[in-house]
Amino acid sequence: MKNRLRSFNGLTVVKILIYAFFGIFLLLPLVSVFLVSFTSQPINLLGSITDPGILSSTIEKFKAISLANYEKIFTNKTYFSAVTNSLQLAVLVALIVIVMCIPIAYGIARTTMPFKKTIAALCTIPLIVPTFISAYAIIIMFGRSGWVTYIYNALGGEGMLLDPYSMAGIILVQVFFFFPYALWPMVAAFKVSDISLEEASLNLGARNWFTFIFVTFPLAIPGVISSALLIFTVSFSDFGTPIILAPKDLNLLVVEAYREIAGFFNWGGAAILTVIMVLVAAFFFWLQHLFTKGKNYGSVSGKPKQQKLNDAKGLTRTLSVYSLVIVIVPLLAMLSILLQSLATTWGKNPLPNGYTMKHYQTIFTSSIGNIQNSIVLALGALILSVIIATFVSYFVVRQNSSKLDFMTSVPLVVPGIAFGIALIQTFNTAPLHLTGTALLLILAYTIRRLPYMVRSTMGTMRSIKQDIEEAAVNLGATPLTAAITIIGPLMLPGIAAGSILVFITVIKETSISILLAPAEWAPMSLAIFQNILRGEYYTAAAMSVVLVVIVLILQAIANRISKNQL
């Protein structure tokens, strides 16, 4: 707006294209699925524009509009229990994670706890592993023939310590694999208050525990609440764990929505569940946003405060042992997968009966296609998101395009399974018949992971001063040439870091893959999922190990890049 002269040029065309992209592949599906929740029949909005025949049938469908689906939430027992169970699960996970993390966060932030670095390093494991693999690992450990069960029985226990195929099992997985999302914000929250406040409290005669409860903790409360809301949203949107572990009699929104669409092609049912998912996730996302607004705890601000750390030996040792016990669980889970992948057979014993590389041979001969698919799809999504994210951050940072900024954060709110359903519904027929193609899969991955990419590129974009670009224009370059020759090269580090992140998350992606991937384009995550369903546990384990190794390597590269940037 600043300059009417520049209002029409190459960049404007790019901007229009990006708006069209978001309009067609993000907003249109969400709007469509919302409409379907009223009509109970697929709505073809694109077709209605191009084809009068479709238009008239769409109008017919709108005439049959009803709130029947919305009534069903309360009348249909399955739906109602799905909603309450999902909410219950998310609340429980959030509460347990918070309570579990308080001592660890305090230990890291405010004490000289031993093994702090080891603990912090182990905390990254859960973030690398896709949840359905973690869920599967819990089966290996806690299942009927799991080694935990073996030890439990050897110690005199009856049956299983904990049935993985239950609400408790799902909670277990989500708690131990989502807690790092809450831990670091909480560490930041505990760093806010100054040790001098605690010393003041002690000086005024309060005891240690009294000081913690009435001084230290209250100051950290906003950060803690925000973490809890974050965990709630993550747990609520998680598809990988419930799809593996939820027993038949336990309805959860994500699973129910998946069944409605994949099993019964019940458009209305899937739509209403999708709408509920998006609304709940969006609401909690907004709540969390509200809490963190203006309270940027972990952020860099001025000089670092000198903090004195608590070094009482008894306390730090206890905290250290406790933290290690917690963070070791995900590690054990991954080791279990590794052992399973190398086992000839593994019955109800602490260790496998024998070791073999056979399963790896199997996947590298028969399933190499899945690995290739994953890489090709991830590369596709990566290229698309690099291009879009680069331009989006340009428009947001340089032209204050808050609409685009908002648009790129919408995917954060939409649970994967919900987005998948919306896409299937929208692109099921002409004129854009994309369901069942690799293209739709790539588009879905791209949109879902774009927020990460945009965050990364936007950061670098902000660090490039406006006058550098103006200098290029002043020297004769058109805005587009300036973008290509000056801004592009300067953004490379941000783009590199962001694209590795996109690549990793796409390889890990579960819900979209399971819902949208056609057989000939099945990525690793889908192959593992199907293997688990078919009971081919050993190959599933081997494939999981390959997947985690790929992610680990990429993560290491990404860390290096971002370190070099600093």
Partner 1 sequence: MGSVKISQLTKEFSGVQALNNVNLDIQEGEFFALLGPSGCGKTTTMRCIAGFEQPTSGTIHIGETKVNHIPPNRRNCGMVFQSYALFPHMNVFENVAYSLNIKQLNAGNLATKLPIYLRLLNRKLGKYPKAIEQKVMEILEYVELDKHATRLTSELSGGQQQRVALARALVMEPAVLLMDEPLSNLDQKLRHSMRNTIRRIQQDLGITTIFVTHDQEEAMSMADRVAVMDQGEVKQIGTPIELYSRPSTPFIANFVGTSNVLKGEVVGQENGHSIVKGHGFLLKSMNHVEKNDVNVIIRPENIKAFKPGTISEDQLTNIIEGKVLVSTYLGSIVRYDIQVEEYQLVVDTTFVPGEAILTEGEKVQLTIDPERVLLI
**Helix, coil or strand: residue 343:** strand
Q: Kindly tell me which residue out of 202, 287, 338, 484 binds partner 1, with binding defined by CB under 8 A.
A: 484
Residues of this chain, 239-268, that bind partner 1 according to CB under 8 A: none
2 binds partner 1 (CB under 8 A): yes
Task: Name the segment binding partner 1 (CB under 8 A); options: 1-9, 106-114, 121-129, 158-166.
Answer: 1-9
Q: How far apart are CA 306 and CA 535, in angstroms?
A: 56
- Between 234 and 486, CB nearer to partner 1: 486
561 binds partner 1 (CB under 8 A): no
Task: Name the segment binding partner 1 (CB under 8 A); options: 3-11, 276-284, 299-307, 378-386.
Answer: 3-11
- Between 482 and 504, CB nearer to partner 1: 482
Least Å distance between CB 2 and partner 1? Answer: 7
Q: How far apart are CA 345 and CA 508, in angstroms?
A: 27
Q: Kindly tell me which residue out of 75, 474, 559, 565 binds partner 1, with binding defined by CB under 8 A.
A: 474
- Residue 301 vs residues 226, 295, 357: alpha-carbon distances, Å: 20, 12, 52
Cβ 492 vs Cβ 390: under 8 Å: no
Cβ 413 vs Cβ 289: under 8 Å: no
Task: Name the segment binding partner 1 (CB under 8 A); options: 216-224, 325-333, 343-351, 484-492.
Answer: 484-492
Least Å distance between CB 500 and partner 1? Answer: 21
Task: Name the segment binding partner 1 (CB under 8 A); options: 186-194, 361-369, 474-482, 523-531.
Answer: 474-482
Of the candidates 223, 303, 264, 533, which has an alpha carbon nearest to the alpha carbon of residue 421? 264
Amino acid in the structure at residue 188? A
Of the candidates 319, 331, 284, which has an alpha carbon nearest to the alpha carbon of residue 102? 319
Percent helix / strand / coil, the chain, rounded to 5: 80, 0, 20
Q: Kindly tell me which residue out of 6, 15, 116, 358 binds partner 1, with binding defined by CB under 8 A.
A: 6
For residue 27, give every residue at least 6 positions away whose Cβ sits within 8 Å of its Cβ, in sequence order, or none.
407
Of the candidates 284, 333, 346, 321, which has an alpha carbon nearest to the alpha carbon of residue 172? 333
The size of the interface with partner 1 (CB under 8 A), counted in residues, is 25
Binding mask 487-526 for partner 1 (x = CB under 8 A): -xxx------------------------------------
Least Å distance between CB 402 and partner 1? Answer: 16
Amino acid in the structure at residue 228? A
Q: Which residues pair with 343 in a beta bridge?
A: 355
Q: How far apart are CA 119 and CA 328, in angstroms?
A: 9
Q: Kindly tell me which residue out of 345, 372, 481, 565 binds partner 1, with binding defined by CB under 8 A.
A: 481
- Between 60 and 470, CB nearer to partner 1: 470
Burial 337-372 (b: 16+ CB within 10 A, else e): bbbbbbbeebeeeeebeeeeeebbeebeeebeebbe
Q: Using the 8-state DSSP alphabet, how is residue 530 labeled?
A: H
- Between 5 and 325, CB nearer to partner 1: 5
Residues of this chain, 141-200, that bind partner 1 according to CB under 8 A: none
3 binds partner 1 (CB under 8 A): yes
**What sign results for the dihedral spanned by CA atoms 152, 534, 545, 549?**
negative
Count other Cβ atoms within 10 Å, centred on residue 449. Answer: 28
Tokens of 453: 């990419």
Least Å distance between CB 321 and partner 1? Answer: 49
Least Å distance between CB 469 and partner 1? Answer: 8
472 binds partner 1 (CB under 8 A): yes
Tokens of 63: 């005439």
Binding mask 451-470 for partner 1 (x = CB under 8 A): --------------x-xx-x
Q: Kindly tell me which residue out of 155, 475, 519, 566 binds partner 1, with binding defined by CB under 8 A.
A: 475
Cβ 453 vs Cβ 503: under 8 Å: no
Of the candidates 96, 87, 81, which has an alpha carbon nearest to the alpha carbon of residue 179? 96
Q: Kindly tell me which residue out of 31, 262, 339, 473 binds partner 1, with binding defined by CB under 8 A.
A: 473
- Between 7 and 344, CB nearer to partner 1: 7
Least Å distance between CB 472 and partner 1? Answer: 7
Least Å distance between CB 491 and partner 1? Answer: 10
Q: Kindly tell me which residue out of 16, 471, 533, 549 binds partner 1, with binding defined by CB under 8 A.
A: 471
**What sign results for the dihedral spanned by CA atoms 215, 219, 223, 229?**
positive
Chain contacts with partner 1 (rule: CB under 8 A): 2-6, 465, 467-468, 470-479, 481, 484-486, 488-490
